Amino acid sequence: MNIVFLGLPGTGKGTQAEELAGEMGIPHIATGDIFRQAISQGSELGKKAKQYLDSGELVPDEVTCGMVKERLMQEDAASGFILDGFPRTFPQAEALDQIMDELDKELEKIIFFSAPEQVLVKRLAGRRVCSECGATYHIEHNPPSQEGICDKCGGKLIQREDDQEETVIHRLKVNRDKTQQLVDYYRKQGKLTTVEADRSLEEVKKQLKEAVGSP
Ligand code: AMP
C-alpha cells in the first residue's frame, strides 16, 4: 500500500510510521531522516540541505523532489511505502503525482495527523532521538527505560538542534499554511483520513490501523 503521512512537526507521525511500516513490511521513507543522514555523512545532498535544517526552513523543492523520486524507485518501495514529511508544499504534491504516474503507481491513503499547536510545541521540546539509530522518544510520553539511553541500540539520546523552542515555533509557522493547503488538496480527492494525534500512542495507533484497514 502506498501511504502518505501528513501533519505538522511533532504530531507523532514519524513514531507511528516507523512502527506501522515495520508491521506492514514496507519502508518508512522520512525526508527529514534522509537529510539528517546525508548531513552526518557530509554528502553533496547534505551540504545542500544543512543550512535549511539548521534554521528550520524548507529545503528547496528541486532538491527534495529529486531525492524522493530516487528513493521511491528503489526496489524495496515496489510493494508499498509510508512517506513521512513529504509532500510539504503544493508543488511537492504535484511532483509526487507526476512521480507516481511515471512509476505507474497510485497514492492510496493520505493520513492527516491533527493536533493543536500548543501541544506540538510541548511535544517537540520533550523529544529526544537516538544519535545512533534515530529512534524517537519523549521524556514524558514515551521515555526510554534508562534515561538518556536508547532501548533499541544503547546509543546516546540527544535533542535535535531544530527542536529548541524558538526553532520549533518557526517550523510550525513555516509549515502551517502549506500543510492546510495539502489537506484541502487530498480531501477533494477523497483520499484523506484524519487521525486525532493529540491522544496516547496506543489510541493513535488504533485510529491509524482502522484508517489503513490493517489488523
Ligand atoms: P522533519 O524531520 O520532518 O521535521 O524535517 C526536518 C527538516 O528537514 C525540516 O525542517 C526541513 O528543513 C527538512 N525537510 C524535511 N522534509 C522536507 C520536505 N518535504 N521539503 C523541504 N524540506 C524538508
Numbers of helices and strands, H then E, in the chain: 8, 8
Q: Does residue 15 have its Cβ closer than 6 Å to ligand 1?
A: no
Distances (CA, A) of 168 to 55, 101, 194: 10, 35, 23
What pLDDT sits at residue 213?
A: 87
How many angstroms separate the CA atoms of 31 and 71, rounded?
10
How many angstroms separate the CA atoms of 131 and 154, rounded?
10
How many angstroms separate the CA atoms of 21 and 25, rounded?
6
Distance of CA 36 from the midpoint of ligand 1 (Å): 9
Contact 119, 203 (CB under 8 A): no
With a cut of 80, say whether residue 214 has pLDDT above it.
Answer: no
Distance of CA 130 from the midpoint of ligand 1 (Å): 18
With a cut of 80, say whether residue 215 has pLDDT above it.
Answer: no
Where is pLDDT greater, at 25 or 215?
25
Residues 6+ apart with CB under 8 A from 210: none
Residues 6+ apart with CB under 8 A from 154: 132
Q: Does residue 5 have its Cβ closer than 6 Å to ligand 1?
A: no
How many angstroms separate the CA atoms of 22 and 129, rounded?
18
How many angstroms separate the CA atoms of 215 and 201, rounded?
17
What pLDDT sits at residue 33?
A: 93
Distance of CA 33 from the midpoint of ligand 1 (Å): 8
What is the pLDDT averaged over residues 145-174?
Answer: 93
With a cut of 90, say whether residue 122 has pLDDT above it.
Answer: no
Within a 13 Å sphere around the CA of 76, how many CA atoms are in the beta-carbon half? 10
Question: pLDDT by residue (tens digit) across 9-44?
Answer: 999 999 999 999 999 999 999 999 999 999 999 999
How many angstroms separate the CA atoms of 150 and 133, rounded?
9
* Banded model confidence at residue 48, pLDDT cuts 50, 70, 90: very high
Q: Does residue 59 have its Cβ closer than 6 Å to ligand 1?
A: yes
What pLDDT sits at residue 84?
A: 97
Distances (CA, A) of 123 to 48, 140, 141, 169: 28, 9, 9, 12
What pLDDT sits at residue 7?
A: 95
Atom of ligand 1 nearest to the CA of 86: 19
Atom of ligand 1 nearest to the CA of 31: 16
Q: Across the chain, what does the average pLDDT equal?
A: 94
* Banded model confidence at residue 114, pLDDT cuts 50, 70, 90: very high
Superfamily of domain 2-116+175-212: P-loop containing nucleotide triphosphate hydrolases (3.40.50.300)
User: Hey, is 159 helix, strand or coil?
Assistant: coil
Domain boundaries, the chain: 2-116+175-212
Q: Does residue 31 have its Cβ closer than 6 Å to ligand 1?
A: yes
Atom of ligand 1 nearest to the CA of 52: 12
